[in-house]
Amino acid sequence: MVPYTAYRLSLCTTLTEEEQLWASFQPFLEEQGYMLRPRYKPGWIAACISAKGEDTSRFEDSIPVWGAVLNAKRMSDGADVVLKIVQTTSMEVSIATFLTNCPGAEKHTLPCLDLVPMPGDPHKSFMVSPRMRSCTSLFPSIVTARDFHEFLRQMLEGLVFLHDNNIAHGGIDERHMVLDASRLIPGGFHFANPSTSDGITHLLQYTGNQSAPHYKTRTEAGPMKYYFIGFGGSIQFPSRDARELVTGVCRGYRRDLIPETSDTVPYDPFKVDVWSVADVVVGTLKCYSGLDYLVPFVRKLRHRDPARRPDALNALKLFQNLVSKITEEALNQPLDFELHEFETRGTILSMMGLGV
């Protein structure tokens, strides 16, 4: 067995298999106007090698990444973007292109800024999108019920928009909901080490010093803007009348818990999206106390019988009706973050009728 310290040093000084692929395209992507991290430049040698014996965490280029998604700087204006390797003729690209040109989509989804064909492979491309942050990240956390209501309202409105355009997402979970963190973390954050500003310097809670790397609470930063991403398992029908039941498709990481999904028995993918949004709410309820009044609402969205589950529009109306009865004082009441009580909260929610 390789000692942990040796394994860590290997990760810091050697590119992963996925990173080797990115590094092979670095010169090409630079020609296209996208600058990758120094770690991926030709001839890269980790800075920690020359700084003998020093902690590798002191060097930004020691941070590895995995997967088909990577951050970059757009050289024309310095904007932070994300590059994703996609199948050029996939439904994901088709839907992304449609949404980029669809009026109103900018309120709920991210545009495809560019689609760069991959050299040497006519079937693949680099899809470029604005860089965002995970919206369910516990850092910075949700502070008040109003914070969470804003998130849930926008997600439901986004779902109504997608469904109105006959798009079933098919993979809604925490990984595919993001927020614009420009006001939350004004100085920016590191893609591979998001609790830091530059991969090294940890972000501190805002205390009034604008110059120091910091983050604000969602309450301090003002209403956040949330978006759906990840349309790799989505499906779009030509019209409402052309909608069909489907099999398979769903990609959410808790898909095995959705009552009706099946590889053989057809189901309604739009009702699965409703269940999946509610399931994200369950994850929040397990971390925070003070939101249990949402349980009856969530139960309706997670009903085992899809026919008795509201569609996206009616789910939004139910939520709006629920929120209209809550006082301003209650909305601004701080929530109790209880991650250490995660399992206990799960048991409580199960007793309240939410199988979690």
Three-class DSSP labels, 199-257: CCCECEECCCCCCCCEECCHHHHCCCCEEECCCCCCEECCCCCCCCCECCCCCCCCHHH
C-alpha gyration radius of the chain? 22
Any bridge partners for residue 196, and if so which?
Answer: 202
39 neighbors 61 (Cβ within 8 angstroms): yes
Contact between 208 and 135 (Cβ < 8 Å): no
Cβ-in-10-Å burial (0-12, 13-18, 19+) of 193 comes to: middle
Structure tokens at 335: 């929530």
Residue labelled with tokens 């057809």: 266
Lookup: tokens for 270 = 């739009």
Helix (H, G, I), strand (E, B) or coil at 86: strand
CA dist 196 and 188 (Å) reads 9
Q: How far apart are CA 314 and CA 318, in angstroms?
A: 6
The token duo for 20 is 């080797």
Distance CA 84, CA 90 (A): 13
Q: Is 50 exceeded by the pLDDT of residue 35?
A: yes
Would the pLDDT of 349 be above 70? no
Q: pLDDT value at position 23?
A: 97
Dist CA 118 CA 28 (whole Å) = 9
Q: Are 265 and 185 in contact (CB under 8 A)?
A: no
At 1, the pLDDT band (50, 70, 90 cuts) reads very low
Question: How many Cα atoms occupy the beta-carbon half-sphere of 88 within 13 Å?
Answer: 10
Range of weakest confidence among 280-289, 303-312, 313-322: 280-289
Say whether pLDDT at 234 is over 50. yes
Whether 88 has a pLDDT exceeding 50, the answer reads yes
Q: Decide if pLDDT at 53 tops 70.
A: no
Confidence of residue 348 (pLDDT cuts 50, 70, 90): low
**Residue 188: φ, ψ to 5°:** 90, 170
Q: How far is residue 265 from each of residues 202, 248, 260, 262, 314, measured CA to CA in Å?
A: 49, 9, 8, 5, 26
Around Cβ 213, how many Cβ atoms within 10 Å? Answer: 18
Which domains can be identified in the chain, with CATH numbers? 4-55+63-130 (3.30.200.20), 133-180+224-351 (1.10.510.10)
Distance, in Å, from the CA atom of 165 to the CA atom of 233, rounded to the nearest integer, reads 16
Report pLDDT digits (tens) over 274-284: 999 999 998 88
Phi, psi of 288 (to 5 degrees): -125, 140
Q: Which of 140-149, 171-180, 182-191, 299-308 has the lowest mean pLDDT?
A: 140-149
